[in-house]
Each structure stands twice: as structure tokens, then as C-alpha cells.
Amino acid sequence: MTLQDDPGRTEDGHPVPAVMLANDVPLYEDELVDDLQRNHYQIIQKKKGFKFGMDAVLLSGFAKVNDGERAIDLGTGTGIIPILLSAKTEGKHFTGLEIQEDICEMAQRSVRLNGIGERVEILRGDIKEASKQFGAASFEVVTSNPPYMNDSHGLKNPNLRKAISRHEVLCTLDDVCREAAKLLVPGGRFYMVHRPHRIAEIITALKQYRLEPKRMKFVHPFSDRDANMVLIEAVRGGNPMVKLEAPIIVYKSQGVYTDEIYEIYGY
């Protein structure tokens, strides 16, 4: 049986969609659609793949993209951050950069599904080559929810897609900071979410590329628990002065979000 004779494939060899969504967007058998609770936007995700988490949503609430500004998200995955930022801010244009071909194509379908192609674009590319792909000083804002773990932190997931999302398989913290600095205009802002246990490395990497930390906000699962995330804003060529903002507390009791989390999610 040839590929064209496969009942699970179209004549051009692509998988047969399970259903067709709005704007003629196909949804495949291994995918689902989630409601983002913002502007009626939806996002396509893999049923068994790496899904966006609270860290991406918190970063979209922490980042500021002003009227007329251009933003790029490095390692965008499902496209969650540019899609949410397009709903929450007055930015002019949002680009997502993703190296995995199938994930990139899925994110592109989410953009089409929401009818926001004039403001949001998902492109395939390598973070390590981002400044070559887009040119230096091309954006006012750069965001990233990079892999948190390096080779000395935790067991690497045997699922390559999940390993790429969680571990520094295809890029490192240094790669992200270097390319963010190159992509930003002077005075441009870099927003990142990461793990507190790497804060010393993060600040060192930022300063190496003249990205000056200006705002930091720690995220705690409960008020009496240690922080498990940190949100950072750094300015290209900024003066040395950092503001430590009030922390975000995720839960007020088991399974019950705080009012701040509900506000960030848009409920």
C-alpha cells in the first residue's frame, strides 16, 4: 500500500484531519483545543505532548508591550505567549520563533483559528541564530519561557519533544540571553520566566550581554512555601537598579486560586 492509499492520509501524504475548525483549520486525532479565556481565543495542543503551563500565562501577565511595539517570543512552542500578549496588550506585532517543525505548524494553525494573522506570526527557526534570522535591534520586546534544566538538573525526559521543552537540549540560558540582547533595540525590554535556583546564573548571563535586571517577581505555590518560579524584566543598556516586586501567591488553599491568579487568567 502506498502512502496515497493510506486511509489515514490525504493524497499529498498529510494526515487526515479529525475535524475542521473555524477558518478551515484542521485538527488532527492527536490534538485538542483549549479555551484561553481571553477574547474568545483558543489554542491547539498535543494530547500527549508538552502543554503550556502557568509559567507562560504568568509571563504574559508580567510582560509589557506598549502601543506600536514589536515583540518576539523565543522558543514559543504552542504560540501561547504571543497569542496571549496580542489579547492583553496594545503591541503592534508579535512573532513566535519555534525550532520544532510540527509544533511550529500547530502554532500557526492556532493563529489562523483565532483570525489574528495580521498581528501574530509564528516562524520556524533556531534561537541560537535568531539575530541572524531577524536582524539586530529588530524588536522593542523579547520574551522567553526557556528550558529550565541544564545537564546537572534532574533526569531528562525520554520523550524528545518534552525534553526539548524542559532541558537545555537545543539551546542554553546563555544562548537565550545573547540573542535577546542582539534582537532588542537600545532600551528594549527582555522578559523571562525561570527557576529561582538558577537566579545567580541568570543575573550573570543577563549582565554579560548588557541586559540590566530592572524588575523581579517571585512566584510561590502557597504563602508558606518557597518560590518555584521567578519573573524577570531586563533592559538592554539599562542603569543598575532592580525592583523586587510583591510576590505572586498561586493558591490560597488546596485547589483554589488566589484572586490575582484569576485576574491574570482572565476569569
In this predicted model, what pLDDT tens digit does every residue of 90-123 receive, in sequence order?
999 999 999 999 999 999 999 999 999 999 999 9
Residue with cell 517571585: 218
Q: What pLDDT is attached to residue 16?
A: 83
Q: What pLDDT is attached to residue 156?
A: 46
28 HSE (CA, 13 A, CB side):
17
Task: Please say if the pLDDT value at position 267 is more than 60.
Answer: yes
Structural domain includes residue 35: no
Q: Determine the average pLDDT of the residues in 43-58.
A: 92
Q: Which amino acid, one-letter code, is at 198? A: R
| pLDDT tens string 127-153 | 999 999 999 999 999 999 998 656 554
Going by pLDDT thresholds of 50, 70 and 90, the confidence category of residue 49 is: confident
Going by pLDDT thresholds of 50, 70 and 90, the confidence category of residue 159 is: very low
CATH number at residue 125: 3.40.50.150
Among left, alpha and beta (phi > 0; psi -120 to 50; other), residue 56 is alpha
Q: Determine the average pLDDT of the residues in 237-243.
A: 95
| 3-state SS, one letter per residue, for 208-227 | HCCEEEEEEEEEECCCCCCC
Structural domain includes residue 147: yes
Element (H, E) at 54: helix 54-62
Going by pLDDT thresholds of 50, 70 and 90, the confidence category of residue 157 is: very low
Q: What pLDDT is attached to residue 167?
A: 39
Structural domain includes residue 245: yes
pTM for the model stands at 0.88
CA distance 45 to 161: 13
Among left, alpha and beta (phi > 0; psi -120 to 50; other), residue 259 is alpha
Range of the domain at 131: 52-265
Q: Determine the average pLDDT of the residues in 75-81.
A: 96
**Mean pLDDT, all residues of the chain:** 89
Structural domain includes residue 121: yes
Structural domain includes residue 114: yes
Structural domain includes residue 16: no
Structural domain includes residue 81: yes
Structural domain includes residue 113: yes
Count up the domains in the chain and report the number. Answer: 1
Task: Please say if the pLDDT value at position 1 is more than 50.
Answer: no
